[in-house]
Amino acid sequence: MSQAAESTFGTSAWPADRVVPQAWLELEVAKPEAVGEAVAELRGRGLEVVAEAKVEPWGQTTARLLSPEGLLVGVSHLPSFHETDDAGAATDETTDEAGAARSTLDLDTARRWLEVAVAQAREGEAEGGVPIGAALFWASGELLGSGRNRRVQDDDPSVHGETDAFRRAGRQTSYAGTTMVTTLSPCWYCSGLVRQFGISRVVVGEARTFSGGHEWLAEHGVEVVVLDDPGCVAMMADFVHRHPDVWNEDIGEGADGG
């Protein structure tokens, strides 16, 4: 099994006989300590922990478990999306006690935008490519462009999901206020694109299969929202399991280690 496959779900060992997730369930809890309580209960019901509870720099706490039947269960506490007004819309950006910036984007909007990127990823997968999709939105919610990783289809290693969406958005005089939505944490190449053109926010479907430059972007003033979407996790887990060589090539971990 490749190094990339072994790192899926953040675990250092991925046995060859471990079931690939076939379905997923996301549980959101009200308090960070409730994540550990839920994990303990699920372990008692026979589920295996494939990613221990981890507190991310932006305040999110998430753990993942896998049932013998292939049900992937995520248990998360998402403080970024619980600081809302009575109407459920996100209020002004705030900072928690740890100093992590909280998002001004409401969860429903983030997930709705992610669906566009996921559709692109699935289309790319159907074409025989790497299932990573992206979409670029104005602050108003207008879709500027969407795209997918087409390095296999086009025999072009520069066509990642984010670069494809960016190109399809066409020429813009400014990218201030735009949001790049991607199914997977952006690599350094795509993270550089976000910084170069001043894209204001990045929404990441998941950062467990690959943790690229999203933390670096957050450190440099880009608002980052990681949804830890179980569907995105399962989609990439299945692809890495079936095509480790193509995956290693895509993230720059070829046979020569470059």
| Residue 250 backbone dihedrals phi, psi, to 5 degrees | -65, -35
Q: In which region does residue 9 sit, left (phi positive, over 0), alpha (psi from -120 to 50) or beta (all else)?
A: left
Residue 17 CB neighbour total at 10 angstroms: 4
What is the DSSP-derived secondary structure letter of residue 29? -
Helix (H) or strand (E) holding 215: helix 214-219
> Token pair of 123, please?
């289309």
Contacts of 186 (CB under 8 A, 6+ apart): 162, 180, 194, 202, 204, 212, 213, 214, 217
> Token pair of 125, please?
């997968």
Residue 210 CB neighbour total at 10 angstroms: 19
- Residues noted as catalytic: 162
